[in-house]
Amino acid sequence: MLSAPERALLSIATSEAMLGVLGNGFIAFVNCMDCARNKRISKIGFILIGLAISRICLVWMLISEAYIKIFSPKLLSSSNIIEHISYLWITFSQLSVWFATSLSIFYFMKIVNFSHYVFLWLKRRINTVFLFLIGFLFMSWLFSFPVVAKMVKENKLQFINTTWLIRMKKSELIIQFVFTNAGVFLFFMIMLIVCFLLIISLWRHSKKMHLSESGVRDLNTEVHVKAIKVLISFIILFILHLIGIIITVVCLFIPESNLLFMFGLTTTFVYPCCHSFILILANSRLKHGAVRILQQLVCSEKGKDLRAIRQSGREMNDLE
């Protein structure tokens, strides 16, 4: 039986998961419709669809594992299930960060205009940059999967009763954690570099430009500021995501730690939930699509209310 704090945290985590699925599902739906309408898929459309689908898979996997762990823990007693869950988690978590990094690089190349020959060379070979990132992703998987397989086969990662337990020293766990998340840390560092370069680009652009007579900043400055806001929000949310993951890893050393596990789960879901809505608000096409859907919902609700009022009026006239 769950305690009141555990029920509250589980409700919050479930709400975050559902909002994350809705937000990312909307992003995938709008971009898939654009691809079907244009009969081709653009780079940005591919990245956004991949980002949304990978996050949806990650959210469903995490929330499903949490409910099974809490309400039907015997299903997780098999080492094969533990190994498969670990593989899925590594795949979807690294894939979602890869797509987010690719999105930031895509916008960075479109927005920034550095005169350095290295940047100009990279800008002309944007496809090569993405292939380079794909290579890092596959290398990260090749490093991560054998580590997980070794941990499971040596019975260092087990599920006993209702608790995940890990049988290794803390120093060994840190090394294993770094190896299994090397790709995540690499892509996160690339995001930090991109954000830093965007800030430098904005600073240089601001030195060249000045406010117009109306006090409105030029379009390039607005684009820089919007991109920096999106990147900084991603960094903050992803740090919270990493903190949530670290908390769930700490739970491997603590028997019967459901409350701490749910708190970590709630913190983990903040990133895929909130960042999807930030992307919707930052992208004019997605924002207009969301506004149209909300307007249709409001109009349908008003239509239902008007029909109900007319029906009640007719009923009153019949009574008279």
287 located within any domain: no
pLDDT at 49 over 70: yes
Query: Per the structure, how many domains does the chain have?
Result: 1
What residues make up the domain containing 179? 4-282
pLDDT tens, 279-289? 888 887 888 87
313 located within any domain: no
pLDDT tens, 168-189? 666 666 677 777 777 888 888 8
310 located within any domain: no
125 located within any domain: yes
Longest dimension (CA), the chain: 85
Total length of the chain:
320
pLDDT, average across residues 227-246: 86
- 129, two tokens: 């940059």
Output the domain CATH number for residue 185: 1.20.1070.10
pLDDT at 125 over 50: yes
Q: How far apart are CA 23 and CA 280, in angstroms?
A: 8
Q: Which residues of 174-208 are buried (b: 16+ CB within 10 A; e: fewer)?
A: eebeeebbbbbebbbebbeebbeebeebbeebbee
